[in-house]
Amino acid sequence: MAELHIIGQIVKAIEFEEPKLFCKWSIQIGSSWKVVEGESEGQTVTALDRLEESSTFAHPIDVHLGTRGVQGWPKIHVEIFAVNAVNNSWPVGFGFIHIPTQPGYHLLEINTWKIAPYTFLDKLRERFWSGGYTLSRSDLIYSGTERYKILTKSSGKVLVEVMLLYRNFAKFGVEFK
Amino acid sequence: MEAVTCFHISVTGQIEFASFPLGPDGSQLFVRYEVIAGPDWELVAGLSAGITQCSTSRPQDEKIVFNMPLEFSYKATNPFGWPQIVFCIYGKNIWGVETSLGYARIHAPVFGMERRRIVAPILIPRCANTVAEIMSWITGKNAELRNPKILTEGAKNKGLQTDSYGELTVSLQTISRGANRMGYDWGRQQSAEQNY
Amino acid sequence: MWRKYDKHSAIYHTKSKIENLHFSVSLKNISSLIKVPKFEKTSDVQSLSLDNDELIGELEIKWQEKVFSSVEVEVYSDVENCSNEVQRKYHNLIRDGENVRQGKIFTYVQEDNFTPSEELLCHTESKRSIPYKKETPDPNEEEVMYVYASLSPDVLLFEVRWRAKEGVLIVCPDFNDCEDNPYYIEIDSDYRHLYSYTVKNTSPSLDMLSAKLEKNMKLGTRPIIDIDRIFDMPPKHSTRFLVLLEIQSASFFEYENLHIRYKISIPDRFILEEGELMGSTHSSVSLNSIWKFGHCFQFAILSSTKVPINENFTIYLEAISIDSWTRERPEGFAFYTIELRPQQIQIEIPCFRVDYGLLERIERFFIGGRRHFDLEKFCSGNDGMLNRYRTKTISTGSLIMQCQIIMQRNDDLARGINLDNDLCVFNLEDVLKKHHEARVRLESVV
């Protein structure tokens, strides 16, 4: 059994239009992987920056994964939600990225997208009222060939810093570099 | 042979300075830090907590310099629960009352034989409701976290609202021993700067 | 029909020398499950019930005695296959022809440094959460021996571990009797094969006191299930590549609502193990004239050769825009070839679009429509030359992609070689061993 330690933090979300954001994150793994210790999902604080257009979370991630095979390499999945003055929240960004395959320190920039408003009324609603649409089935993000029918709009970026420790991969003939 | 089953890390460095664009919301700042690690970790040497001196910046400079040494060594059987350092920043507001100016949290660096500068953003919790906000504006006392350690556990800070303002710069260096023998692969060395 | 007897480990304490350990293994093929009595005169009453089973192997083994399988004999007969000292010793033994025992039952001893790729036979609990306080056992403290049967595939029959310091012998599964409780092996290949085997302790003077079997042994925190050894390896002498690709963003394209379709072609000697080679991203509306996709996908391919050198795979990309009147327009084509070796790269690929003439440009503006364009043929040469002279293209935007590749090999013969120098344990014994190996290599050359 090989092991992977992911130690790091979700640093901040930048280039989003909305100021007050929180992030729901999760680590998606294939069937040969297993979470041994730590939380593989969570939600950050709701953050606002006084000067810049960014939201700083500084949310710690510490996960210990065990695996029986290299397939199903883990991915980090983030969903950024915006909060308005009356505490309604709606998603303004979905994104995911593979965990890097080399041990060491990495700064990952996850590009996110949100569901684009279709009609003019939707656009007004998104701007002034309760926000945009969300996905009715979250597995639409992962499934295959019909994805071009989902119309999305590019959104901001989420910066995640991870330090990866590998164990026993070389013993099973796996090479990274 | 105990060395086969556990590894040691030794972290040295200092809290260099805090910087607030447009100046801090107080004067005579000091920082209290504490090192928090998981259940498989044991402190073998050094200090796991400390309080700096009270420092003020020069009028034309936005940096508040502490220059406080950080030194600790841990022994562990498992990288899970890697040590994190929580910083609580306090200062005197215009009424001369001591108030909290924010919190910062970093992981001790996992890699790096070279000294690395880490810039940690400072998070200030916001008040829970409008009444508390008005009271805090009148008295000049900011909201405080009852237990700053919740920042190190991801599960407990859901629903907390924070503002971020300012940065705390810490430079640290980690020396590790024994991890390669346990089969851990630590990758190549990193560059000296770590900022976003 | 028959009762499956559970396999347990047994722990024995002994103060005698481990070299006195003898055991005998016998393997039978069960051809029919129904015990039909035969009407023959037999003087021995007990042999009635065992006639249906065919004895295919029987072996008396001493502690750490190496018995070769037919595959091993074939491999070690050739001196070029021997990469370390132990293998050379085997080669010499086989060449001299003495003390070479081979048959259906063979063994792996401590020197072979063998780790079984399958789960151990004995489970006390089959699903157990991995304890995180694991101790990696010191090889100086424990000696191990495995007994295998070369049925197809090779099946682990029996495992013996000896801890000299504590005087403890761990036998998995326990010794049994062929009449009372034989162990069964079931193999489902072309049709169902059923075998039974027994392991008997025939040590003359080994005085063993059986310890009570405890689930969590007090001998150490190491559990009976050796979780360290379970890992999905590619078949022997083949290489697996796991490719992680991410289409990050696109920039400087003409129309909005862009999506990217991709197709990957892998070299001929590879087969696709997991994942899909074709797909498309979602459509995106730009922000500051950059379309961000962040689309991640992965696939695993398996090669039949040992270490593929200079193999590449190609990714073909097509950017298409669909506007609100559902007019489709091709926005760009591109292809990129990536070398199959462990790496992590970020690539920026500029795209082009085919220009068919003024009429087509007007048609593109008003009606849209995609013409059939064979990108793969456009990118591969035939008759020794790739001639694109007649085609006119316009440069369009560019795509940014990231690719990460992991390689995994299962090569028993290469196990002696250190794959990654950073993991070398530099203590005195290692240095002496490497010095000795280098000297032997030098002597064989000179």
Q: Which two tokens stand for residue C109?
A: 């001893």
Judge if C61 and C189 occupy the same domain.
Answer: yes
CA-CA-CA-CA dihedral for A152, A158, A162, A168, to nearest 10: -10
Residue among C114, C117, C129, C232 with most chain A CBs within 10 A, to mutate: C232
In this complex, the residue of C133, C138, C420 whose CB is nearest that of residue B4 is C138
pLDDT at residue number C213 = 41
Is the Cβ–Cβ distance between B170 and B15 less than 8 Å? yes
Say how far apart CA C92 and CA C295 lie, in whole Å: 56
In this complex, the residue of B123, B154, B186 whose CB is nearest that of residue A61 is B154
Say how far apart CA C59 and CA C105 lie, in whole Å: 7
pLDDT at residue number C130 = 35
Indicate yes or no: CB of A50 within 8 angstroms of CB of B183. Answer: no
Judge if C215 and C254 occupy the same domain.
Answer: no
Say how far apart CA B154 and CA A39 lie, in whole Å: 8
**Tens-level pLDDT at each residue, chain C (446 residues):** 444 455 667 777 777 777 778 888 888 887 766 666 656 655 555 444 445 567 777 888 888 888 888 888 888 777 777 777 778 888 887 777 765 666 778 888 887 777 665 544 443 333 333 333 333 445 567 788 888 888 777 788 878 888 777 777 778 777 776 666 777 777 777 777 788 888 888 777 555 555 444 433 444 443 334 455 678 888 877 888 999 999 999 999 988 889 999 999 988 888 898 888 888 888 888 878 888 888 888 999 988 766 667 788 899 999 999 888 888 899 999 989 998 888 899 999 999 988 888 888 888 888 887 788 888 888 876 667 777 888 888 889 899 999 999 988 876 544 444 444 444 444 576 678 888 888 888 888 87
Name the DSSP letter for residue A118.
-
In this complex, the residue of C129, C132, C283 whose CB is nearest that of residue A152 is C283
pLDDT at residue number A62 = 93
In this complex, the residue of B1, B77, B185 whose CB is nearest that of residue C133 is B77
Q: Which helix (H) or strand (E) holds B137?
A: helix B130-139
Looking at CA atoms only, how far is residue C255 from chain A in angstroms? 14
* Residue position matching structure tokens 């069937």: A31
For A75, list phi and psi in degrees, rounded to 5.
-130, 150
Cα nearest neighbour of C426 on chain B: B181
Question: Which of A85-94, B96-105, B110-119 shows the lowest per-residue confidence on average (mean pLDDT)?
Answer: B110-119
Say how far apart CA B114 and CA B193 lie, in whole Å: 10
Distance between start and end Cα atoms, chain B: 42
Is the Cβ–Cβ distance between A65 and A33 less than 8 Å? yes
Residue among B19, B88, B124, B185 with most chain A CBs within 10 A, to mutate: B185
Say how far apart CA B140 and CA B34 lie, in whole Å: 26
Say how far apart CA C57 and CA C80 lie, in whole Å: 31
The larger pLDDT score, comparing residue A76 to residue B57, is at A76
* Residue position matching structure tokens 């030359």: C385
The verdict on residue A144 lying in a domain is no
CB distance from C425 to chain B under 8 Å? yes
Residue B184 has pLDDT above 90, yes or no: no
A positions 32-61 inside 8 Å of B (CB): 36-39, 42-51, 54-56, 58-61
The 10 Å Cβ neighbour count of residue C306 is 14
Residue B192 has pLDDT above 50, yes or no: no
Is the Cβ–Cβ distance between C335 and C314 less than 8 Å? yes
Is the Cβ–Cβ distance between C395 and C254 less than 8 Å? no
Neighbours of chain A (3+ CB pairs under 8 A): B, C
Looking at CA atoms only, how far is residue B43 from chain C in angstroms? 18
Indicate yes or no: CB of B196 within 8 angstroms of CB of A64. Answer: no
Indicate yes or no: CB of A101 within 8 angstroms of CB of C406. Answer: yes
The verdict on residue A88 lying in a domain is yes
Chain B residues with CB under 8 Å of A105 CB are: 110-112, 187, 190, 194
Q: How confident is the model at residue B177 (pLDDT cuts 50, 70, 90)?
A: confident
Residue among B2, B5, B42 with most chain C CBs within 10 A, to mutate: B5
Judge if C213 and C255 occupy the same domain.
Answer: no
Query: What residues have CB less than 8 Å from B82, skipping those under 6 apart?
Result: A5, A7, A62, B37, B38, B107, B108, B110
Give the CATH number, domain containing residue C372: 2.60.40.150
Say how far apart CA C94 and CA C87 lie, in whole Å: 10
Say how far apart CA A47 and CA A49 lie, in whole Å: 7
pLDDT at residue number C179 = 63
CA-CA-CA-CA dihedral for B90, B92, B93, B99, to nearest 10: 40
The larger pLDDT score, comparing residue A119 to residue A114, is at A114
Buried/exposed code over A70-88 (b: 16+ C-beta within 10 A; e: otherwise): bbbbbbbbbbbbbbeeeee
pLDDT at residue number C186 = 79
Indicate yes or no: CB of A12 within 8 angstroms of CB of B160. Answer: no
Neighbours of chain C (3+ CB pairs under 8 A): A, B
Residue A123 has pLDDT above 50, yes or no: yes
Indicate yes or no: CB of C287 within 8 angstroms of CB of A177. Answer: no
Chain B residues with CB under 8 Å of C423 CB are: 180, 183, 185
Residue B1 has pLDDT above 70, yes or no: no
pLDDT at residue number C323 = 84
In this complex, the residue of A70, A148, A176 whose CB is nearest that of residue C283 is A148
pLDDT at residue number B188 = 57
The verdict on residue C2 lying in a domain is no
Chain B residues with CB under 8 Å of A104 CB are: 111, 186-188, 190
Looking at CA atoms only, how far is residue A113 from chain B in angstroms? 21
Judge if C169 and C290 occupy the same domain.
Answer: no
> Which fold is adopted by the domain B2-183?
Immunoglobulin-like (2.60.40)
Number of domains comprising chain C: 2
Is the Cβ–Cβ distance between C185 and C195 less than 8 Å? yes
Chain C residues with CB under 8 Å of A70 CB are: 232, 240, 242, 300, 406, 408
- A163 burial via Cβ count (<10 Å: 0-12, 13-18, 19+): buried
Amino acid letter at C318? E
> β-pairing, A75-83 with A89-98?
antiparallel
Indicate yes or no: CB of A163 within 8 angstroms of CB of B107. Answer: yes
Judge if C256 and C214 occupy the same domain.
Answer: no
Closest Cα to residue A45, out of A16, A14, A80?
Answer: A80
Looking at CA atoms only, how far is residue B90 from chain A in angstroms? 19
Cα nearest neighbour of C139 on chain B: B4
For A64, list phi and psi in degrees, rounded to 5.
-120, 115
Say how far apart CA B58 and CA B71 lie, in whole Å: 28
Looking at CA atoms only, how far is residue B149 from chain C in angstroms? 24
Indicate yes or no: CB of A113 within 8 angstroms of CB of C284. Answer: yes
Q: Which two tokens stand for residue C303?
A: 């090669």
Say how far apart CA B144 and CA B123 lie, in whole Å: 11
Looking at CA atoms only, how far is residue B4 from chain C in angstroms? 7
Is the Cβ–Cβ distance between C241 and A175 less than 8 Å? no
Three state DSSP letters for C72-89: HHHHHHCHHHCCCHHHHH
For chains B and C, count residue pairs whose Cβ atoms are closer than 8 Å.
23
Q: Which two tokens stand for residue C411?
A: 């090569």
Judge if C197 and C264 occupy the same domain.
Answer: no
For B128, list phi and psi in degrees, rounded to 5.
-70, -35
Judge if C173 and C150 occupy the same domain.
Answer: yes
The 10 Å Cβ neighbour count of residue C339 is 13
CB distance from B94 to chain C under 8 Å? no
pLDDT at residue number A136 = 59
Query: For the residues A24-47, what does the mean pLDDT come to?
Result: 90
Judge if C147 and C220 occupy the same domain.
Answer: yes
Q: How confident is the model at residue A65 (pLDDT cuts 50, 70, 90)?
A: very high
Looking at CA atoms only, how far is residue B59 from chain C in angstroms? 39
The verdict on residue C165 lying in a domain is yes
Question: Which of B104-108, B163-167, B180-184 shows the lowest per-residue confidence on average (mean pLDDT)?
Answer: B180-184
0.90 exceeded by the pTM? no
Say how far apart CA B18 and CA B62 lie, in whole Å: 8
Say how far apart CA C229 and CA C209 lie, in whole Å: 29
A positions 148-177 inside 8 Å of B (CB): 159, 161, 163-171
Is the Cβ–Cβ distance between C311 and C341 less than 8 Å? no
Domain that holds residue A109: 2-114+156-167
SS3 content of chain B, % helix, strand, coil (to 5): 10, 50, 40
Is the Cβ–Cβ distance between C50 and C86 less than 8 Å? no
Name the DSSP letter for residue B55.
B
pLDDT at residue number A76 = 92
Say how far apart CA B34 and CA C257 lie, in whole Å: 50
pLDDT at residue number C415 = 46
Residue B18 has pLDDT above 60, yes or no: yes
The verdict on residue A137 lying in a domain is no
Chain C residues with CB under 8 Å of B183 CB are: 136, 423
Q: Which two tokens stand for residue C185?
A: 């092996």
Q: Which two tokens stand for residue C240?
A: 């697996």
Amino acid letter at A130? S
Judge if C149 and C246 occupy the same domain.
Answer: no
Judge if C255 and C386 occupy the same domain.
Answer: yes
Judge if C213 and C246 occupy the same domain.
Answer: no
Is the Cβ–Cβ distance between C319 and C328 less than 8 Å? no
Mean pLDDT of chain A: 84
CB distance from A1 to chain B under 8 Å? no
Indicate yes or no: CB of C344 within 8 angstroms of CB of A98. Answer: no
Which string of DSSP letters, residue by residue, matches C358-380? HHHHHHHHHT-------HHHHHS
Indicate yes or no: CB of B4 within 8 angstroms of CB of C135. Answer: yes
Residue B107 has pLDDT above 50, yes or no: yes
In this complex, the residue of B77, B80, B180 whose CB is nearest that of residue C423 is B180
Chain A residues with CB under 8 Å of C280 CB are: 145, 147-148
List beta partners, residue A97.
A76
- Classified as helix, coil or strand, C414 is helix
Residue C35 to residues A3, A59, C99, C161, C177, Cα–Cα distance (Å): 49, 68, 39, 37, 19
Domain that holds residue C402: 239-408
Query: What residues have CB less than 8 Å from C326, skipping those under 6 apart?
Result: none
Chain C residues with CB under 8 Å of A97 CB are: 246, 294, 296
Number of domains comprising chain A: 1
The 10 Å Cβ neighbour count of residue B3 is 11
Residue among B181, B186, B189 with most chain C CBs within 10 A, to mutate: B181
Give the CATH number, domain containing residue A79: 2.60.40.150
Say how far apart CA C192 and CA C180 lie, in whole Å: 23
